[in-house]
Amino acid sequence: MAKESMKARERKRAKMVAKYAAKRKALKEAGDWEGFQKLPPNSAAVRMHNRCQITGRPRGYMRQFGVSRVLFRKLALSGRIPGVKKASW
């Protein structure tokens, strides 16, 4: 499990990215690179980190399912993910 403070930091970054997305797009189209420096660094989408939606684990994230590899395996073995068969884990 991830710390609650780390999850909160990611939520804060997501809000900031959404808030400044239009402004960043306008600055990029205008070619105003000095304007980019005035924006907060966490307003860039590349600063976001993928995390498991359930456990908050940052590593082994499976983008297609939105969960970590550990949780994916657990859910697949219990039959809670339809269409996934155990091949040779």
Buried b (16+ CB within 10 A) or exposed e, 49-78: eebbeeeebeeebeeebebbeebbbeebee
pTM equals 0.69
pLDDT band per the 50, 70, 90 thresholds, residue 32 = very high
CATH 3.30.460.20 fits 50-89, yes or no: no
pLDDT over threshold 70, residue 1: no
Cβ-contact 19, 11 below 8 angstroms:
no
> What is the tens place of the pLDDT at every residue in 35-75?
989 999 999 999 988 999 888 888 999 999 999 999 999 99
Where residue 89 falls among pLDDT bands split at 50, 70, 90?
A: low
The pLDDT value given to residue 12? 93
Question: In the prediction, which pLDDT does 20 show?
Answer: 96
Q: In which residue ranges of the chain is CATH 4.10.830.10 found?
A: 50-89
Tokens of 51: 């995390």
Rounded to whole angstroms, the Cα distance separating 21 from 16 reads 8
d(CA 88, CA 45): 36
